[in-house]
Amino acid sequence: MKNICYLLFFILAQTSCTEKNPISRSSEPKATTIQGTINRAPNPNIIITDDNNRFETQLSNGQFVINANLTQPSLYTINYGRDKIVVFLNPGDSLKFTANGQRFSKTISFEGPLAEENNFLKEKALLDRQRYSDKVKDFKLNEEEFINAMNYARTQNQSTFDKSAKVKNFDPAFVLLMNNEIAYEWATDRVNYKLYHEFYNKIKNLELSNGYYDFLNELNYDDSNLMGSVQYKSFLTNFTGMSAKKALETNEELSLKDNGDALAKFTFIKNTFKDPQIVDYLLYSTLKQHIRYEGANGTKELLDIHNKTSKNKNNKADIQNDYAVWENLEEGQSAPTFNYADINGKLYGLENFKGKYVYIDVWATWCGPCRKEIPHLEELQEKYKNSDKIVFTSVSIDQDDNAWRKMVSEKQMKGVQLLADAAWQSSIVRDYKISGIPRFLLIDPEGNILSAKAPRPSSDRIKTKLAQLIDP
């Protein structure tokens, strides 16, 4: 594949992002072999993924072979234990590597037709990690300084790659892919400037110049031939998120819905993108994220929109599997109860609170985000301290009951304070599919679920929800 005229592809790679990109899918999948040797391997599992594919196998005597049918030159991630590295795969080419399993990404060395490309990516990953702190500093800059810094970084990245491309025999498809990586990393940073500038400088409502987003008019962002680029897909996701955020700022009713963010993204996706594969990808990734963070909250409506629009059967099946986990925790389902003791040994379950709304905080003393929510929870408790319509319950999953008792006593924590009986193995964790804390639950007076992933106390959504339920 490398005998194609390099100069032609290099010239094409320098054209504007608005030009049709010559990276395209093969009409038929091509057999591609990935093989590796991992010495001193503590983990037998090797997983190679992108957004549409997952190849998994186990090492045998430290070696593995994966035979895949690929249609498009793309960047993939090799996952080994907690370590990972991005690699370039090209349909019809093979990839071979060796690595030390205890220092996987740092020791990996590539051989074969794609060795030059992947050894370059390895070095680039190391440099990117070193440059992270510089990017944080850039986001703190004012608008003009930030744009200049981003333009300079893009020029430097392009120059570095061009120099390597001139002396190494890179596959032409890799050259095109890397030019897209550089262009869309720049575009993603430009899109994210307002969000990160406000975050790092701890400010709100940054006003950008009228022409700040004009750069978007120069981009080709509706072309599935670009989907092999990680940065292009990152740009699509962040561009969609930014646009949905703008929509929510002018639609308070939508912003207060459990699925408001996802609905705003769905609307933007369907109105903006024409390429069906781009639409499929963005709807799918948006719904996956929604289910991850919201569970069953508003998911039926989103699932219906997704299934009517998407043409991808595999995506539909995967989303249905994700949703099935949460079906028994939908609004209106009977809430799983528990039987936990307070600091004095008195046992409580949901039946003790029948006739009242129950707002439950699942937390632990060692959890920083949990502790940050406590002042906001206390504000809600104070607001409704004279109400007989709601009870606030906190269930700790601490293993160290002494740490829990000490904090409850010293902080004079209000509400019904309970200690789960088996930390992460407790029934409340299993029954409500809790994989991270804090997690908040909202139960109605009949003992049915209102939300198995209720908004946090710091959220305006919970304030509005409780006002609707209790204040009338």
- pLDDT one digit per residue (tens) for the chain, 472 residues: 343 333 333 323 333 333 334 444 555 889 999 999 999 999 999 999 988 789 999 999 999 999 999 989 999 999 999 999 999 999 999 999 999 999 999 999 999 999 999 999 999 988 888 788 788 999 999 999 999 999 999 999 999 999 999 999 899 999 999 999 999 999 999 999 999 999 999 999 999 999 999 999 989 989 999 999 999 999 999 999 999 999 999 999 999 899 999 999 999 999 999 999 999 999 999 999 999 999 999 999 999 999 999 988 989 999 999 999 999 999 999 999 999 999 999 999 999 999 999 999 999 999 999 999 999 999 999 999 999 999 999 999 999 999 999 999 999 999 999 999 999 999 999 999 999 999 999 999 999 999 999 999 999 999 999 999 997 6
374-405: b (≥16 Cβ within 10 Å) or e: beebbebbeebeeeeebbbbbbbbbeeeeebb
19 burial type by CB count under 10 A (0-12 exposed, 13-18 middle, 19+ buried): exposed
What is the arrangement of strands in the sheet containing 83-89, beginning at the earlier edge strand? Answer: 54-58, 45-49, 74-80, 83-89
Distance of CA 45 to the CA centre of its chain: 23
The pLDDT, as a whole number, for residue 130 is 78
Query: Helices 460-470 and 368-383 meet at what angle, rounded to 10?
Result: 30
The pLDDT, as a whole number, for residue 52 is 77
Block residue for tokens 């944080």: 136
The pLDDT, as a whole number, for residue 29 is 86
Q: Are 150 and 189 spatial neighbours (Cβ–Cβ below 8 Å)?
A: yes
* Structural domains for the chain: 6-114 (2.60.40), 136-328 (no CATH), 340-470 (3.40.30.10)
The pLDDT, as a whole number, for residue 53 is 85
pTM as predicted: 0.84
Residue among 454, 259, 463 at smallest CA distance from 358: 454
Q: Are 128 and 160 spatial neighbours (Cβ–Cβ below 8 Å)?
A: no
* Dihedral (CA of 354, 359, 365, 366) sign: positive
The pLDDT, as a whole number, for residue 472 is 63
Asked whether the bond before 438 is cis by omega within 30 degrees of 0, the reply is yes
